């Protein structure tokens, strides 16, 4: 069976008669189903044909392939051909395919040799299995702990019992010069969790969590950033809904603006979460919590249009899929933030905040100005604590003005 595209017949002959011949068709089909352009697939086949000839000249079999052999092949290839930016990623996709098929062994990753790797690994197990934290949160905690241990011990032996409050204060002061107060607060949270783990594991005898300084960053000290309702509508109408990209981005923006979803919740949305008969969708929120929200007609119509006409074929169950190959779901919320940012710039708007959370804040502000209570807003946004919702009361300036006391000595 030939691949689902038609490269040069000579290339096909070289492929099928060489050491890679038995494994070409499944790989070619994979490229096709993942949405790679025809010219990309054809170039891939030519590159693999050259690899096949090189293996024959070296009297090597496909089972001899590994990263080093690929580097040797490209070193020889670039004596005659120009470097192509797709060569390395294409060949590594080929290796991954062979490993998935069991043709070559899985790559053995050398264990880390840093002195703190063992304790960080144990801390990761604790976070995942005892604390049940989200993988993204775990990664943030681990990055913080590695940075702290490297700053304190560098390549010296790891002596956790030697840690003291001054080490923690020095590290936190250094980090506070690099990051915002909110970011520094997250670092402090990660360190407190680490020191509680060390105490529980018996690695230290003093509860150093209490030595982590408090970062002043009062939650209600500022006003929430938001756009006016007319600006939100203008942003939505600026999407070019005659294109697949425009239809996808419009559906994403509606989920953010009408239901207040977080960026990560949009990424996590699957086809199974859409209940068309009941007119609702399941939102996979923070802390593995699930919530059911009504699906407004406007949002449902945009989703249906995208799913019917613009969503590329893909094996993933995620609703939103990359338009470029490989066609898979978005990895994390950063892709959603980028979509929002580009839409804002395209619309010519210039709000202070340009991320996905801007639309969540704008929805809450609009609801409050329309007469919704803080409790109702908190339920829609799925806040676990009413205090989180209370910040929006500060944008209700008319109500606050009525509560303000007269200024002493002011006009009667």
Catalytic hit among 42, 241, 248, 357: 357
Whole-angstrom distance, CA of residue 32 vs CA of residue 38: 8
Whole-angstrom distance, CA of residue 189 vs CA of residue 300: 39
360 is catalytic: yes
Whole-angstrom distance, CA of residue 210 vs CA of residue 195: 9
392 is catalytic: yes
Pairing of strands 280-284, 290-294: antiparallel
Whole-angstrom distance, CA of residue 361 vs CA of residue 383: 13
DSSP string, 34-54: TT--HHHHHHHHHHHHHHHHH
Q: Which of 332, 76, 351 is nearest to 224 (CA)?
A: 351
228 is catalytic: no
* Cα first-last separation, the chain: 92
Whole-angstrom distance, CA of residue 295 vs CA of residue 319: 15
262 is catalytic: yes
146 is catalytic: no
Whole-angstrom distance, CA of residue 90 vs CA of residue 98: 13
| Contact yes or no for 212/168 (Cβ under 8 A) | yes
Q: Quick one: CA dihedral 97, 333, 375, 366, positive or negative?
A: negative
Catalytic hit among 286, 317, 342, 346: 286
46 is catalytic: no
- Two structure tokens written together for 349: 């708007």
- Backbone phi, then psi, for 239, in 5-degree steps? -70, 135
Whole-angstrom distance, CA of residue 70 vs CA of residue 100: 18
Active site residues: 262, 286, 357, 360, 383, 392
């Amino acid at each position: 069976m030939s691949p689902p595209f038609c490269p040069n017949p000579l290339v096909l002959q070289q492929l099928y008669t060489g050491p890679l011949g038995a494994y070409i068709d499944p790989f070619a089909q994979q490229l096709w189903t993942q949405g790679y352009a025809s010219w990309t697939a054809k170039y891939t086949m030519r590159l693999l044909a050259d690899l096949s000839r090189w293996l024959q000249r070296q009297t090597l079999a496909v089972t001899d392939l590994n990263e080093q052999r690929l580097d040797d092949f490209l070193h020889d290839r670039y004596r005659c051909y120009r470097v192509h930016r797709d060569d390395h990623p294409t060949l590594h996709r080929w290796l991954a395919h062979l490993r998935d098929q069991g043709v070559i062994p899985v790559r053995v990753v050398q264990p880390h040799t840093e002195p703190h790797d063992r304790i960080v690994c144990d801390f990761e197990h604790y976070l995942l299995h005892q604390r049940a934290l989200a993988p993204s949160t775990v990664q943030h905690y681990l990055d913080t702990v590695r940075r702290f241990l490297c700053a304190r011990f560098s390549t010296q032996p790891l002596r956790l019992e030697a840690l003291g409050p001054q080490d923690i204060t020095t590290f936190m002061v250094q980090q506070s010069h690099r990051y915002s107060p909110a970011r520094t607060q997250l670092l402090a949270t990660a360190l407190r969790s680490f020191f509680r783990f060390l105490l529980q594991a018996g690695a230290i005898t003093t509860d150093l969590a209490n030595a982590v300084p408090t970062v002043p960053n009062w939650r209600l000290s500022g006003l929430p950033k938001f756009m006016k309702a007319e600006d939100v509508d203008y942003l939505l109408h600026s999407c070019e809904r005659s294109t697949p990209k425009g239809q996808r981005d419009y559906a994403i923006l509606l989920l953010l603006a009408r239901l207040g979803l977080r960026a990560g919740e949009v990424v996590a949305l699957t086809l199974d979460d859409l209940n068309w008969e009941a007119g609702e969708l399941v939102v996979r929120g923070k802390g593995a919590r699930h919530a059911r929200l009504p699906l407004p007609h406007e949002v449902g119509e945009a989703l249906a249009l995208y799913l019917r006409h613009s969503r590329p074929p893909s094996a993933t169950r995620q609703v939103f899929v990359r338009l470029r190959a490989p066609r898979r779901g978005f990895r994390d919320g950063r892709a959603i933030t980028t979509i929002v940012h580009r839409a804002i710039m395209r619309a010519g708007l210039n709000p202070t905040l340009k991320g996905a959370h801007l639309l969540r804040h704008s929805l809450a502000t609009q609801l409050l100005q329309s007469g919704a209570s803080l409790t109702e807003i908190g339920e829609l946004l799925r806040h676990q604590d009413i205090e989180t919702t209370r910040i929006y009361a500060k944008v209700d300036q008319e109500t606050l003005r009525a509560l303000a006391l007269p200024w002493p000595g002011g006009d009667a």
